[in-house]
Chains A and B, each alone.
Chain A
Amino acid sequence: MNDRGLHFLTILLLGLSASLWAVMSAKLLIPLFWLLLLSGFVLRLHPAEFPRFLRRLVKIGVTLLFISLLQIIFRRQGTVLLQLRGFPLIFSTGLREAVLLWIRFLILFALAFIMARVSPFHFLLFSRKAGLSADFSLRLLTSLRLIPEIYQEARRGLWFLRFRGIRFGSLSLLDKILSLRQLLYGLLMRSMNTLFHTSLLLELRGYGRRGSGPIPLPYPLGPADYFCIILLLLGNAAAFRLYNLTY
């Protein structure tokens, strides 16, 4: 594998395959297979970041645990797996749906993790190869880059709001709403400034200039991409076979 990692097309195909089978299959086996495949990708592509991946997962896991508990409690179909003094507590369908929820979420989470590590420049190269116009590609890229920026700005805004010295716990609901409105105003203005500077920097680098190819570099598939695409095809074929057998 070269320094740039996998081609965006390979990652996109991986994402499409995994999410398609995760949604289509109501049985555990096929989504589990794709989850294992994705986990392998995360480990292979970003071994050093795997502990960070797990830490983030644990943070969101609490919310997910709550939702899956609701699934177990309220999905009262299928055979009874556990009962207390004759009262049925856990049903097979509820338990399966709860596990499926976890698997689907983990697939999404792993995909987001892999995609977030694609460099913006390679994403730009891909979008140009995919036939999108340079203007649209740059707009898309700028918008995508703005999302984490807005998050940082929101944290910064909350910091400044607190540094004013007001005790938020003692504010009335109306005052809290007013503070939120003020925060959103600051957020809007700072985001506009960021966008303005980003577009200015892009223009200064010559992107989007008429008559000139803004991205002259080639972006071919590498040997690792071919290997992964073959693996994906085999994975899809196996999943299709399993799907036909189980339904």
Chain B
Amino acid sequence: MDGFSGMLEALAPEGVSLLLEQHRPGLLDGWCEKLLSQPLPRHSLWSEPARRLERIGGLAGWVPDHFPLFFFNERVLEETAAALSARRGQVRTETADRDRAAALLAELDIMHLGERSPYTLSQGETKLVWFLVQYAKAPRWLLLDHLPSGLSPAWQEKLIGFIRNRIMAADTPPVSWVLGALPGEEWYEPLLAAGNWRRITWESAQKILGDPG
């Protein structure tokens, strides 16, 4: 297990999800960005850091708020199916992947986006689609810096409902959710009631996460 996964394991072991109380949005994103994306420009894309990224990519999903996203397929449905096939280590999708992708889109109530190009979506739609793509990878941890950012109250509710259902359904393999929240917010209350959560302030988490800086 590498440093990134090791730190997450220490904070959110199997079966435990984490609520990070940040004093401002972007702290978790900043940590991920520094640890995951910045080391690469200094190294070749075929070097050990690149292979490490493959390993981390298989273990963790990340839904950033202000990080330009890159999609590889013409349609949202195909992009989600590709994430499902990536879980098996394959590039080509199968009918079962597309069916499962359609089911996931329907569960999040974004089936109407299935035939759209990911590059024509609004900010909120992009966030929902990217969330689903990351979830479809079946990661060990799924990190969201600030769930409500960029989403209307109705979509926030749908996304929270989706996560709640997934926790209640006891996903196999289990996902440890790592969600950032701001002081005074209450949107996460339905989630806390659903699973085994650990609440921790960003300052306390930093003692384990360190300063990638």
- Stretch with Cβ within 8 A of A (4 or more), from B37-45, B96-104, B150-158, B199-207: B37-45
Given A185-B73, A186-B71, A193-B119, A167 and B54 contact (CB-CB distance below 8 Å): yes
Nearest CB in chain B: distance from A153 CB, A = 8
Q: Which residues in B have their C-beta under 8 angstroms from that of A183?
A: 72
- Residues from chain A with Cβ under 8 Å of B83 in the complex: 164
Contacts of B45 in A (CB 8 A): 155, 158-159, 162
> B69 and A160: CB pair below 8 A?
yes
Asked if A240 is at the interface (CB within 8 A of a chain B CB), the reply is: no
- A159 surroundings in chain B (CB, below 8 A): 37, 40, 45, 53, 70
Interface positions of B (Cβ within 8 A of A): 36-37, 40-41, 45, 50-51, 53-59, 62, 68-74, 82-83, 86-87, 89-92, 117, 119, 137, 139
Q: Which residues of A contact B90 (CB under 8 A)?
A: 166, 175
Contact (Cβ within 8 A) A163 B71: no
Quick one: closest B residue to A157, CB to CB?
B70
CB of A121 to closest CB in B, whole Å = 25
B91 interface neighbour in A153, A155, A179, A193, Cβ under 8 Å? A179
Q: How far is the CB of A191 from chain B (nearest CB, A)?
A: 11
* Interface residue A171 (Cβ < 8 Å from any Cβ of B): yes
Please indicate the chain B residues that have their CB under 8 angstroms from the CB of A171 in the complex: 91
Q: CB-CB contacts of A117-144 with B at 8 A, as 1s and 0s?
A: 0000000000000000000000000000
Nearest B-chain residue to A185, judged by Cβ: B72
B36 A163 Cβ-Cβ under 8 A:
yes
Using known A-B contacts A156-B68, A165-B59, A166-B89, determine if residue A189 contacts B54 with beta carbons closer than 8 Å. Answer: no
Q: A64: shortest Cβ distance to chain B, in Å?
A: 19
Task: Please tell me the size bucket of the interface on A.
Answer: 20 to 34
Shortest Cβ gap from B11 to chain A (Å):
20
Which of B41, B70, B86, B117 meets A165, CB within 8 Å?
Answer: B86
Q: Does B57 lie within 8 Å of A164, measured CB to CB?
A: yes
A175 to B91, CA, bound (A): 6
